[in-house]
Structure 1
Amino acid sequence: MKYIVGFSRIFVGVLFIFSGFVKLNDPIGFSYKLEEYFGEGVLNLEFLAPYALVLAIFIVIYELLLGLTLLIGYAPKFTRWSLLLMILFFTFLTFYSAYFNKVTDCGCFGDAIPLTPWQSFGKDIILLILILILFFNEKYLKPIFFKASLKWIVFASTIICLYFAYHVLMHLPTIDFRAYKIGTNIPEAMSYPEDAQEAVYKYEWTFDVNGSKEIHVTNGSYPDVAGEFIGVETKLINEGYMPPIHDFSFIKNGEDYIEELMQEDKLLVVVAYNLSKSEREGWSEIKSALQKASKQNFKIIGLTASGEDAISKFKEDFNLDFDFYFADETAIKTIIRASPGLVVLKNGTITNKLHWNDTDEFQN
């Protein structure tokens, strides 16, 4: 049992630290995931949505520190109770999400390791078993350093986590795990290989045959049935190959200009998923970068999910003279964790991304 507890301690501790770190690297992304869970039709806790970012930072730091305290043996009673309560809550949450198909990606490891709800639930079941082993064998959870030094290790780690969270919020994630990272060629990331597996669907056709309902299942073809057609239900069996970028566009006046814009040699995109929620201070900060880009013959455009009226008012308020294009809000949130933020492209390849705090670093 001593060795089983030792293995469980290391496995759970390292996993909690890793999971906490990848989400702490991108707390805004995790806050978006919390907003999904708080939304109508999932947990129906919309009143918590305004506090999603604060909750995200608290949860990921708490998760990371629990992994640390487990490994070093600090406050074993508090640690094991915290681990048990946390894993029970998240096991319920992932099961609920998977069974009712509410949130398609749990966000457990941020964008570093995407998991389906059922994969996440399976991971939580394994963790629950290991944590139960730890919970009932506290006598083996001995400190690995002098007890007097443990609280200082936890204190220093907390300060480092808080500083790291502040840094990535004021700039951008230190490690970019998303599909729109620097060096990505967007047209290539949107393309399908010739041998790409196509999506597989199951079609359940319902007919009224002599007064009774009959269901006939096909892979798409209309069944040859001597009866009155009532309806058809389509179910996805295998989604097939999905390119890393599949929901990106530059819409203006109902037309998608992505093919044209991806051929621009010098393109600067000012990104703000929702103009009313963007940081107004940021628009003043990016002015110097826009002036520099204009002198260097960049084509400057905006990208937002806001409507035409909001765009017109915003351009007037901030004296902006470039055109805005429309894209899906979720896609825009994925591109850059700043609102506003700057994305530099050369022939469809992302060469730089800048938080509005760092626009003085803009260069060709």
Structure 2
Amino acid sequence: MENKRLHTILAVWINLCRFLLAAVFIFSGFVKTNDPYGFAYKIQDYLEAWGLLQITPEFAPYIGSMAMGILEFTLGVYLLFGIHRKAACTLILLLVAFMTPLTLWLAIANPISDCGCFGDAVILTNWETFGKNVVLLIAAITVFRWRDTGIKKLVTEKVDWLIALYTVVFALLFSIYCVRELPLFDFRPYYIGMNIRQGMEIPEGEKPTVYETTFIYEKDGQEKEFTIDNFPSDSTWTFVDAVTRVKEKGYEPPVQDFSIVLQEDGTDVTEEILADDNYTFLLVSPQLRNADESGMDLINEVYDYSMEYGYRFLCVTASPDEDIAVWQDNTGAEYPFALADEITLKTIIRSNPGLLLLKDGVILNKWSVNNIPDEYQLHAALADLPIGTLAVPRTLHKVASIIGWFFGPLLFLTLCDLLWLEWGKKKRKKQIIH
């Protein structure tokens, strides 16, 4: 009786670990396939922290991002259904065993603010990430230890190969779709419907974060930290560095560092754009030298359309003047240029370039370079067109669509496969009779 009870407890524990790992890996992989550019930027942060960014091929972080998202999503689905148990459990254990000491280093050294394991959907501190990985490591060791006896398949041998193959194909196609278009789920603070100006404000009653800057000076081979209150009056001290730390954590506005200045004369037009009750098109390109020029004809047409109807049009970039001049020569761009922070521009839209439509500081629409609106969509004033009105996508509708796109074709292919097997059985049976 006691052995039966222990066996039941062990079975429950194994499956709790299994489904926990499956859920985490499916979610983590899906977030990465939903936003391949976002995780690629995080890989670049890792490489920069290790001093490897300069020697890494430019395309490598993007390939690595897509590969990691597909791998995690696939392993999570495999573990969920109990297919390819040995390979799935082994790879999951290797991944978690690698990430656990890595995130411990991140927590201690703090070279980057977060590991990026869940993208912008769930942001954890480095210590929270390490704690999460410790829990996952325990679960991974458990499922690896009892992978043959404790993990039962949820599907038959007849269809497990189909689920295994379709999972990889689905993750790959979804990742490519989000690269070509835009992330289906936008977890960043520049989503459609966001009021940028309100996102920059601190709500009434909330306290802002308090920072303290200390100044490091050196004298006679010894370094000492000073604050603004006890600044050294002795001129023999030599300045070394300044360090800013969080003294008291408070409310952090979701939108930070959003600032636009005209390239021509350096005029700050941020408030003017956010307060404008007319429409504004922002062509966003973090770096023009890396921008896709395939949609330039349509972009130029949007600019001409803006001039016809009296809308503002700006190309916002972090590029130097020489890159802007090259871009103008290559594309025939006649629109004005403005400057903004590169990281902010990468956060605003995952396309280089991408197009943003604003009114009263609210993001009404976003387009990647592959779906810039054409003359058939811009045949009248924006106030009279669907793209000129705010239509916030419904999250539940998106979730239902993804579930449908995954399970719908999978069920159809599974049914076809079972019918094929049944037809084959009947055919062989007839041959035996005759």
TM-score normalised by length of structure 1:
0.90
Partner of residue 309 from structure 1, selected from 298, 315, 322 = 322
Kindly state the Cα deviation for residue 85 of structure 1 after the two structures are TM-superposed: 0.7
* Cα pair 1:24 1:61 within 8 Å, conserved: yes
CA distance in structure 1 between the aligned counterparts of 2:62 and 2:231, rounded to whole angstroms: 51
Question: What's the secondary structure of 1:179's corresponding residue?
Answer: coil
Partner of 2:61: 52
Structure 2 CA distance for partners of 1:306 and 1:201, relative to 1, 3 Å: closer
Structure 2 CA distance for partners of 1:145 and 1:295, relative to 1, 3 Å: same
* Cα pair 1:22 1:109 within 8 Å, conserved: yes
Kindly state the Cα deviation for residue 215 of structure 1 after the two structures are TM-superposed: 7.2
* Cα pair 1:9 1:70 within 8 Å, conserved: yes
Partner of 2:179: 169
* Cα pair 2:283 2:314 within 8 Å, conserved: yes
**Larger Rg: 1 or 2?**
2
Report whether the alignment pairs 1:352 with 2:352: no
CA distance in structure 2 between the aligned counterparts of 1:28 and 1:160, rounded to whole angstroms: 18
Structure 2 CA distance for partners of 1:214 and 1:62, relative to 1, 3 Å: closer
Report whether the alignment pairs 1:96 with 2:105: yes
CA distance in structure 2 between the aligned counterparts of 1:293 and 1:47, rounded to whole angstroms: 41
* Cα pair 1:216 1:223 within 8 Å, conserved: no
Kindly state the Cα deviation for residue 275 of structure 1 after the two structures are TM-superposed: 0.4
Partner of 1:235: 245
Partner of residue 260 from structure 1, selected from 272, 297, 306 = 272
Amino acid at match of 1:66: L
Partner of residue 62 from structure 1, selected from 65, 71, 76 = 71
Kindly state the Cα deviation for residue 151 of structure 1 after the two structures are TM-superposed: 1.3
Kindly state the Cα deviation for residue 207 of structure 1 after the two structures are TM-superposed: 9.8
CA distance in structure 2 between the aligned counterparts of 1:184 and 1:4, rounded to whole angstroms: 43
Residue deviations 1:20-41 (CA, integer Å, cap 9, x gap): 11111111111111111112x3
Residue deviations 1:217-244 (CA, integer Å, cap 9, x gap): 98x6438999x97878653344422211
Amino acid at match of 2:307: S
Partner of 1:332: 345
Structure 2 CA distance for partners of 1:299 and 1:205, relative to 1, 3 Å: closer
CA distance in structure 2 between the aligned counterparts of 1:43 and 1:14, rounded to whole angstroms: 34
Q: How does 1:123-272 map to 2 (within 5 A)?
A: 123-138=132-147, 139-201=149-211, 221-222=229-230, 235-252=245-262, 253-264=265-276, 265-272=278-285
Structure 2 CA distance for partners of 1:309 and 1:62, relative to 1, 3 Å: same
Partner of 1:300: 313
Further displaced range: 275-284 or 233-242: 233-242
Amino acid at match of 1:127: L
CA distance in structure 2 between the aligned counterparts of 1:83 and 1:169, rounded to whole angstroms: 26
Report whether the alignment pairs 1:323 with 2:331: no
How many percent of aligned residue pairs carry the same amino acid? 31
| Structure 1 portions without partners, runs of 5+ | none
Structure 2 CA distance for partners of 1:234 and 1:52, relative to 1, 3 Å: closer
Further displaced range: 185-194 or 339-348: 185-194
Partner of residue 14 from structure 1, selected from 8, 13, 23 = 23
CA distance in structure 2 between the aligned counterparts of 1:222 and 1:149, rounded to whole angstroms: 72
Further displaced range: 138-147 or 346-355: 138-147
Partner of residue 31 from structure 1, selected from 40, 51, 54 = 40
Amino acid at match of 2:185: I
Kindly state the Cα deviation for residue 96 of structure 1 after the two structures are TM-superposed: 2.0
TM-score normalised by length of structure 2:
0.76
| Structure 2 portions without partners, runs of 5+ | 1-9, 379-386, 389-434
* RMSD (Å) for aligned C-alpha atoms: 2.8
CA distance in structure 2 between the aligned counterparts of 1:224 and 1:293, rounded to whole angstroms: 57
Amino acid at match of 2:182: L
Question: What's the secondary structure of 2:315's corresponding residue?
Answer: strand
* Cα pair 1:38 1:48 within 8 Å, conserved: no
Partner of 2:402: none
CA distance in structure 2 between the aligned counterparts of 1:233 and 1:352, rounded to whole angstroms: 39
* Cα pair 2:295 2:372 within 8 Å, conserved: no
Kindly state the Cα deviation for residue 132 of structure 1 after the two structures are TM-superposed: 1.0
Kindly state the Cα deviation for residue 216 of structure 1 after the two structures are TM-superposed: 8.7
Number of residue pairs matched by the alignment: 361
Structure 2 CA distance for partners of 1:281 and 1:221, relative to 1, 3 Å: same
